[in-house]
């Protein structure tokens, strides 16, 4: 279930997965079954600011999207949607905004109730024990 739904494209679990991802290795010790269900069905319900998507239009008309890492007086550092680190000169931007929705897709329609229950049961077992 975990593999087939590409969770590891974005998450990190017991030493495997996406390096930029949120670590799920101990998710079962932080979230109860109800919270896990909400996280799967409605990821945008509660999104920490570091996961907001930054988007901007450059003066040349290009659209940029990504996770904002850092910012100084003249530039912004972002991870773009292909996972590459980029530095963007603020002087080149026409506009920018933050999208507060989660980059994680909702699994409400993607899984059957039984699959979702299995997944929640599995996530509950992840207590961050030995790798």
Q: How many residues bind ligand HEC (CB under 6 A)?
A: 21
The strand pairing partners of 13, in sequence order, are: 16
What is the DSSP secondary structure assignment for residue 74, as one 8-state letter? Answer: S
The strand pairing partners of 96, in sequence order, are: 56
Instruction: Note whether 27 binds ligand HEC by CB under 6 A.
Output: yes
Instruction: Note whether 68 binds ligand HEC by CB under 6 A.
Output: no
- Residue 31 or 64: which CB sits closer to ligand HEC? 31
Give dist(CA 65, CA 54) in Å, integer.
Answer: 6
Pick the binder of ligand HEC from 37, 68, 88, 102 (CB under 6 A). Answer: 102
Instruction: Note whether 11 binds ligand HEC by CB under 6 A.
Output: yes
What is the DSSP secondary structure assignment for residue 96, as one 8-state letter? Answer: E
Label residue 62 left, alpha or beta by phi (over 0 means left) and psi (-120 to 50 means alpha).
beta
Residues lying near ligand HEC in the complex (CB under 6 A): 5-7, 9-11, 22, 24, 27, 31, 36, 39, 43, 47, 51, 102-104, 107, 119, 123
């Amino acid at each position: 279930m975990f593999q087939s739904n590409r969770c590891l494209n974005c998450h990190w679990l017991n030493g495997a997965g996406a390096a930029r991802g949120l670590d799920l290795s101990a998710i079962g010790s932080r979230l109860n079954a109800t919270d896990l269900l909400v996280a799967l069905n409605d990821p945008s319900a509660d999104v920490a600011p570091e996961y907001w998507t930054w988007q901007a239009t450059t003066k040349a008309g290009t659209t940029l999207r990504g996770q904002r890492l850092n910012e100084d007086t003249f530039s912004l550092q972002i991870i773009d949607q292909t996972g590459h680190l980029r530095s963007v000169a603020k002087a080149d931007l026409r506009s920018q905004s933050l999208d507060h929705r989660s980059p994680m897709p909702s699994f409400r329609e993607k899984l059957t109730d039984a699959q979702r229950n299995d997944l929640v049961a599995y996530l509950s077992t992840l207590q961050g024990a030995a790798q």
